[in-house]
Amino acid sequence: MNGKAHFRRFFAADPDRLHVAAHSHHPWPDVTYDAQVRCWDDAARMADRKWVHLFADTWPALQQRIAAILGLPDPATLTFGPNTHGFLMRLLSCLPGGRPARILSTDGEFHSFSRQMQRLEEAGQVRLNLVPVEPLAGFSERFAKAAAHGDTDLVYVSHVFFDSGFAVPDLTALVEAVKASDALIVIDGYHGFMAVPTDLAAIAGRVFYLAGGYKYAMAGEGAVFLHAPPGLGPRPRDTGWYAAFAALEDSATGQVAYAADGSRFLGATFDPVGLYRLRAVLDWLDQAGITVAMIHAHVQALQQRFVAGLEKLHLPALNPDQMVVPLTIAERGHFLTFRTAEAGAIHRRLLAAHVITDYRGDRLRFGFGLYHDEADVDRLCRTVAEVLA
């Protein structure tokens, strides 16, 4: 599979750059440029009526596309927003008040969640129970044991962990391990959506699923979504005026009414351009017959080639033995993480050679995508050899 031809504008902007941080800001395919212009044109043509067009056309089209990708039975459970943090706060506002909320999660969650939880714990508003992700071999068993206690209000866990690339091997088993029947269960799918084939059909009625377009969907920022199962978290206290579009205030009870579908988690005014880009990408992939499974197989082949290249180099500062998730573990995302004290130095040397990676502490990450080919991997191996010689 060679998707490079669909990314000409992005590559032309910096022809010397080799972007192997595909777990961060992906290059955008050319269809997103046309979509961005179309969003502007629609605003000029329709002004205020652009919102009617968005909710009647782009919104349901995206719901249909994403529901099909994730195996969701009802596209109406999906709603959209500008960032995942807004949805996180609305989910938290569904939890019982009057006491600290009991949160079960892991020590491998992304900063948007972990920072917020730490601050709320400081304020005495939550009580955290964090399950260690590593060692990877026993993670599922450790999490199931913690989930069996039943004293939980919210379960929050990544499908693919951002600091390692390790993927939870069985989401259904993880969900079934949660014994608290009234707990909200949230799967952070940001590193899984459009990277790892995901079928939520068996658990769609039990879990919230949170992801977006910034990374593997190649659509940029400002386009995230939440799958909200019917009946769970029916009346978030954190609510914006967009959530009123599908429900009017109930004059009989004096209570604010909420729709039964995913729109109950809407916030307030947002920039719709990210949704235009996301729809353009998903439409393009569908029309080209490119599935998540095909992208995943393509990336895994590139990962194999990169590791094989490193093995031939015998570099003390960067070798396959330092991988947090080795290739022998099938459950992994689209980036490889190397634990090395020289992570920052290697990142800077590669950056000087026009190769974009990223690192966090002692972890250096290499990510591959649809727009990479074997020649890119070979160039990467050559550059690594040169800068670490």
DSSP sequence for 255-296: PPP--SSGGGG--S---THHHHHHHHHHHHHHHHT--HHHHH
Given a contact cutoff of 8 angstroms between Cβ atoms, the answer to whether 369 and 214 are in contact is no
- CATH architecture of the domain formed by 32-286: 3-Layer(aba) Sandwich (3.40)
Could you tell me the residue ranges of all domains in the chain?
A: 4-30+290-387, 32-286
Q: Look at residue 250 in the predicted model and tell me its pLDDT.
A: 54
pLDDT per residue as tens digits for the range 283-309: 999 999 999 999 999 999 999 999 999
How many Cβ atoms from other residues are within 10 Å of residue 13's Cβ?
9
Nearest residue to 365 (alpha-carbon basis) of 330, 338, 334: 338
- Among 340, 256, 360, CA closest to 24: 360
**Residue 375 has what pLDDT?**
97
Q: For 20-46, what is each residue's pLDDT tens digit? A: 998 888 999 999 999 999 999 999 999
> Distance of CA 301 to CAs 187, 296, 364, 372, Å?
27, 9, 20, 11
Spatial separation of the C-alpha atoms in residues 261 and 385, rounded to whole Å: 53
DSSP conformation letters of 45-109: HHGGGHHHHIIIIIHHHHHHHHHHHHT-S-GGGEEEES-HHHHHHHHHTTS-SSS-EEEEEETT-
The pair of three-digit structure tokens given for residue 150, joined into one six-digit string: 């039943």
| Summary mean pLDDT of the chain | 95
With both helix axes pointing from N to C terminus, report the angle between 84-92 and 111-122 in degrees, rounded to the nearest 10. Answer: 40
Nearest C-alpha neighbor of 81 from the set 272, 278, 282: 272
What average pLDDT does this structure show over 74-101?
Answer: 97
pLDDT at 219 > cutoff 90: yes
Q: How far apart are CA 354 and CA 375, in angstroms?
A: 16
pLDDT at 315 exceeding the cut of 50: yes
Q: Which residues of 159-172 are buried (b: 16+ CB within 10 A; e: fewer)?
A: bbbbbbbbbbeebe
Cβ proximity of 331 and 168 under 8 Å: yes
With 0-12 / 13-18 / 19 or more C-beta atoms within 10 angstroms meaning exposed / middle / buried, residue 81 is buried
Is the predicted pLDDT of residue 170 greater than 80, yes or no?
Answer: yes
Residue 287's Cβ-count burial label (10 Å; 0-12, 13-18, 19+) is: exposed
pLDDT in tens, 100-144: 999 999 999 999 899 999 999 999 999 999 999 999 999 999 999
Q: What pLDDT, on the 0 to 100 scale, is given for residue 252?
A: 57
Largest separation between any pair of C-alpha atoms in the chain: 76
Q: Does the fold of domain 32-286 match that of domain 4-30+290-387?
A: no
| Domain 4-30+290-387 in this protein, CATH class | alpha beta
The mean pLDDT value for 326-349 works out to 95
Task: Taking residues 305-322, report their average pLDDT.
Answer: 95
